[in-house]
Amino acid sequence: TTENSLDPSSLEPHFWRTDVLLMSPWLAPIMWEGTFNRDILNAQYRQKNFVVGVATFAVKKYVRFIEGFLGSANKFFLSGHRVNFYLFTDHPEKVPSMKLAPEKSLVIIPVQNYSRWQDISMNRMDIISNHIRTHWRYEVDYLYSMDIDVQMFEHIGVEIIDTLVGTISSWQYTKPRDSNSYERRPESRAAIPSGEGDFYYAASFYGGSVSEVYKLTTACFKGVTEDRANGIEAKWHEESHLNKYLLYHKPTRLLSPEYYWDEELIRPLRGKVPEEPEEGLQPGALKVRVRQGLPHATEGTSFRDSGKPRQVHARAHSSMQELPADIPCGPQD
């Protein structure tokens, strides 16, 4: 078959996963290895000729992760598609010289340092929002934010592309829903009432269309700013605000924890995991664990499809302020 045709075997049951939840209760697909045909997707998306931006921050000691991140992303992230890596750092002189694939480019952007890592974390939303407004809306079609202290081991392809994309936290597999790390204090703008919530999303990897990421980052930083004015700091900083936003503005696509596995958890059982950390990474650092499988369901909460849907928050009302209309986005000729 050609890359544009459908291999009949892809319609057979063995091609599809039966051990995991494949769709959210609001009908957004959940991406797992074995649930899509990458060759067909690549052929279709190459016709669109889109550009994807990746924003990442290497501040203070995190500059040591730059080479590992860029090296693995150059090889595994959207291979064959146009990608702009936007690297924010307080040490531009420490960025190693690297040869990237012809379709990929690196933009180094100096950024100020903060005394506390929490402030660095929470100000990322504001920095991303500002750069969308001033530059990126003219340069890319889709934008993703990723932490720098990761390394990719398998391909992350166009299956991640959608309007609003969230990554299910690997920690959700070790704790029941009621013990998720949502901010529960009602005085915080990131608060999610007790008993409410669906998936818990990692702030380490999220994205979507430029206009939707602009709305997300603007709204989240507004919540951060209001909390600061009231002397409050959300439990997990910008991740708490991200989860509040995505609870009321449902992602159109979800990435399974295979896309971002935390090495502090037990090792996934499927797939080979290196016994020693790669050069430049320390034990316990987050690594992208694409396609590496998941722990047994008995280790904690799972998304096995048992015929009974997970309880989710279904109200459409949002307490957040109405966001402006979509801004014009996309690379300009």
Q: Is 297 annotated as ligand-binding?
A: no
Q: Please check whether residue 244 lies inside any domain of the structure.
A: yes
Tokens of 184: 């529960």
Which pLDDT score is estimated for 178? Answer: 52
- Average pLDDT across the chain, whole number: 77
Total domain count, the chain: 1
Q: Please check whether residue 2 lies inside any domain of the structure.
A: no
Which pLDDT score is estimated for 327? Answer: 44
SS (H, E, C) the chain: CCCCCCCHHHHCHHHCCCCCCCECCCCCEEECCCCCCHHHHHHHHHHHCCEEEEEEEECHHHHHHHHHHHHHHHHHECCCCEEEEEEEECCHHHCCCCCCCCCEEEEEEECCCCCCHHHHHHHHHHHHHHHHHHCHHHCCCEEEEECCCCCCCCCECHHHCCCEEEEECHHHHCCCHHHCCCCCCCCCCCCCCCCCCCCCEEEEEEEEEHHHHHHHHHHHHHHHHHHHHCCCCCCCCHHHHHHHHHHHCCCCEEECHHHCECCCCCCCCCCCCCCCCCCCCCCCCCECCCCCCCCCHHHCCCCCCCCCCCCCCCCCCCCCCCCCCCCCCCCCC
Instruction: Say if residue 145's pLDDT is above 60.
Output: yes
Instruction: Say if residue 223's pLDDT is above 70.
Output: yes
- The residue ranking higher by pLDDT, 223 or 266, is 223
Instruction: Say if residue 308's pLDDT is above 50.
Output: no
Q: Which residues share a beta bridge with 83?
A: 52, 104
Q: Is 59 annotated as ligand-binding?
A: yes
305-320 average pLDDT score? 24
Instruction: Say if residue 121's pLDDT is above 90.
Output: no
At 259-271, the pLDDT tens digits run: 988 776 655 433 3
At 49-95, the pLDDT tens digits run: 999 999 999 999 999 999 999 999 999 999 999 999 999 999 999 99
Rounded CA separation 314/294 (Å): 27
Q: Is 147 annotated as ligand-binding?
A: yes
Q: Is 150 annotated as ligand-binding?
A: no
Q: Which residues share a beta bridge with 206?
A: 145, 166
Torsion of CA 24, 28, 34, 40, to 10 degrees: 170
For residue 120, give the CATH number of its domain: 3.90.550.10
Q: Please check whether residue 153 lies inside any domain of the structure.
A: yes
Q: Is 333 annotated as ligand-binding?
A: no
Q: Please check whether residue 265 lies inside any domain of the structure.
A: yes
Instruction: Say if residue 115's pLDDT is above 70.
Output: no
Q: Is 30 annotated as ligand-binding?
A: no
Give 8's pLDDT tier (boundaries 50, 70, 90).
low
Evaluate whether 322 touches 218 at the Cβ level (below 8 Å). Answer: no
Q: Please check whether residue 158 lies inside any domain of the structure.
A: yes
- The residue ranking higher by pLDDT, 309 or 279, is 279
- Please enumerate in sequence order all residues whose Cβ is within 8 A of that of 303, keeping only pairs 6 or more positions apart, or say none: 20, 21, 30, 168, 256, 310
Instruction: Say if residue 186's pLDDT is above 90.
Output: no
Q: Please check whether residue 9 lies inside any domain of the structure.
A: no
Domain that holds residue 231: 18-299
Give 30's pLDDT tier (boundaries 50, 70, 90).
very high
Which pLDDT score is estimated for 192? Answer: 87
Which pLDDT score is estimated for 328? Answer: 42
208-228 average pLDDT score? 95
Give 314's pLDDT tier (boundaries 50, 70, 90).
very low
Give 278's pLDDT tier (boundaries 50, 70, 90).
very low
Closest by alpha carbon to 232, among 296, 188, 192? 188
Which of 71-75, 200-204, 233-237, 274-278 is predicted least confidently?
Answer: 274-278
Torsion of CA 42, 168, 236, 185, to 10 degrees: 130
Q: Please check whether residue 291 lies inside any domain of the structure.
A: yes
Closest by alpha carbon to 270, among 280, 256, 283, 282? 256
33 to each of 30, 119, 125, 161, 277, how far by Cα in Å?
10, 35, 30, 15, 23
Q: Please check whether residue 8 lies inside any domain of the structure.
A: no
Which pLDDT score is estimated for 271? Answer: 31
- Annotated catalytic residues are 239
